[in-house]
Amino acid sequence: MKKSTIASQLKLIDWDFSVAQKGVTTLPHWYPGTFTSQVPSALIQSLTRHGDVIFDPFSGVGTTAAEAIRLGRRVWVTDLNPIGALSSYVFCGLLALKACSEKDFEAFFKNVVDFIDESSQSIFCKDEAIDEHALDMQQYLDGMLSPSSRRFEEVVVKRPQLNNEALESWIHKSSLLELDEFLKKALTLQSPFARLFFHYMISSNIRSMSSQVKSWGHIADNVKPKAFTYKHVRSYFKKWVVRFLGSLRKTEVRANNNLFDGMVLRVDVYDWSSSDDLLSYYDIPVSAIITSPPYGDAIDYLYSQKLSFYSLGYTEEEIKILVSREIGARRKRFNKDSRRVWAEELASAVERQAKFIETGFIAAILPHKNHGREIGLNLMREQLELSGWSAFFEVDRSISQKRTRQSWTSIKQETISIFYKG
């Protein structure tokens, strides 16, 4: 498609998305600072073609990745946060399974419900009782996901144990015992993807099971509850699965079977301040980069997921190490140079990320200049122009406070900047 045609299409889009679009993905894992799926959906359809590889280097909970797969693209994502990576891997794996085989997709969730109801503990186990469709599901996923479920589990899961001191300060003791019992049974499952799914389910629910229900900020700032409320674990899980499955069934997948010949999704936990060069051992032909980098001084993405980290067996020291590497974390705002540092780290990361694409588009969503964070966009633009990229399209969008998880912040507008290199 000609650049002039693409530009014309982009100008016709209502970037505020005042009318909700049916059929887009809705991710069930809570995460601060997510945007509506309609943003990456519009960018993916305008800038790429069916079968293209999209790269999101700041993937968060996986909104762009999910829309890419829904729309028949392959996708590679990275994020420093293992919780976000877990969400991308499990949700997008299930979305790809739905596109590939509705029968196996439904069989998977039947086994999940049976497991929660304690009516079956043979989910994905290699014995005579296992449903054939569940085995087919694992085979499909082994071919579509990278790294393998077993290898990915080794990366994101540490020493999972829910009945621990760290969680005792947040969750009612009886609920915690129930959670721990559930986790122990889930860890006996032979299928690594099934185990990852239950880690994902626990992570998606553990904040709401906590007795600190005011906001993610209270958890990030270590404001512990003064009183504890018992919450029945399996009831939470059953309701969550019903909502999750209902949402996935409504998702309009436009992929065809040709997409599933080889890798559909790659997920890496990666620190862009690291000297470890992804280019040295990955050769993925990227068609477009579509991402929303972290907003300087606005969000503690990692600390807000503290309870999920505890559930996966991370220690306080391991969490602190990850947080120290987080670009633009809210808790760094007390440093007078925090926004300059954020902008420089962002520009450096984007310069490295751009090397993965020889020709095509880079689309980045950042806070509007009226919010005092224009230094991030300016330095990113300068770095891309030095690398041969040209500004192609730019538009401001309002953030609807009714339909976003960003009501905690003063940021009410974002700028979508698109660059081109041919």
Longest dimension (CA), the chain: 63
- With b meaning 16 or more CB within 10 Å and e meaning fewer, what string describes 130-151? bbebbbbbbebbebbbbeebee
CB half-sphere exposure, 241, CA atoms < 13 A: 21
Domain 3-421 CATH assignment equals 3.40.640.10: no
Question: Which DSSP string corresponds to 135-200?
Answer: HHHHHHHHHHEES-HHHHHHHH-----SSSHHHHTTS-HHHHHHHHHHHHHHTT-S-HHHHHHHHH
- Measured between alpha carbons, how far is residue 5 from residues 8, 15, 57, 299, 332 in Å? 5, 18, 27, 37, 43
Q: Which residues have CB under 8 Å from 19's CB, separation 6+?
A: none
Q: How far apart are CA 266 and CA 284, in angstroms?
A: 10
Residue 375 tokens read as 């230094």
Cβ-contact 30, 204 below 8 angstroms: yes
Q: Give the SS3 label for residue 290.
A: strand
pLDDT, residue 133, reads 52
Phi-psi group of 365: left, alpha or beta (phi > 0 → left; psi -120 to 50 → alpha; rest → beta): beta
Cβ-contact 59, 29 below 8 angstroms: no
Cβ-contact 123, 134 below 8 angstroms: yes
Q: Which residues have CB under 8 Å from 24's CB, separation 6+?
A: 36, 37, 38, 41, 67, 70, 251, 252
Domain boundaries, the chain: 3-421
Is the Cα dihedral 208, 209, 214, 215 positive or negative? negative
* Full pLDDT tens readout for the chain, 422 residues: 788 899 999 999 999 998 888 999 999 998 888 889 999 999 999 999 999 999 999 999 999 999 999 999 999 999 999 999 999 999 999 999 898 888 888 888 988 998 998 765 555 554 444 445 556 667 778 889 999 999 999 999 999 888 788 999 999 999 999 999 999 999 988 889 999 999 999 999 999 999 998 888 889 888 999 999 999 999 999 999 999 999 999 999 987 767 767 789 999 999 998 877 776 667 778 999 999 999 988 888 999 999 999 999 999 999 999 999 999 988 888 888 999 999 999 999 999 999 999 999 999 998 877 677 889 999 999 999 999 999 999 999 987 654 444 444 567 789 999 999 98
Q: How far apart are CA 181 and CA 175, in angstroms?
A: 10
Cβ-contact 298, 367 below 8 angstroms: yes
Q: Which residues have CB under 8 Å from 55's CB, separation 6+?
A: 75, 76, 77, 284, 286, 288, 289, 290, 291, 353, 356, 357
**CB 401: neighbour CB atoms within 10 A?**
11
pLDDT, residue 8, reads 93
Look-up of token digits 């419900």: 113
Q: pLDDT digits over 4-46, tens only?
A: 899 999 999 999 998 888 999 999 998 888 889 999 999 999 9
Cβ-contact 271, 80 below 8 angstroms: yes
- Measured between alpha carbons, how far is residue 385 from residues 139, 238, 414 in Å? 44, 51, 21
pLDDT, residue 401, reads 52
Q: pLDDT digits over 243-297, tens only?
A: 999 999 999 998 776 776 778 999 999 999 887 777 666 777 899 999 999 998 8
| Phi, psi torsion values for 329, nearest 5 degrees | -55, 145
Q: Which residues have CB under 8 Å from 347's CB, separation 6+?
A: 376, 379, 380, 382, 383
- The rounded radius of gyration (Å) of the Cα atoms in the chain is 21
Instruction: State which amino acid sits at residue 280.
Output: S
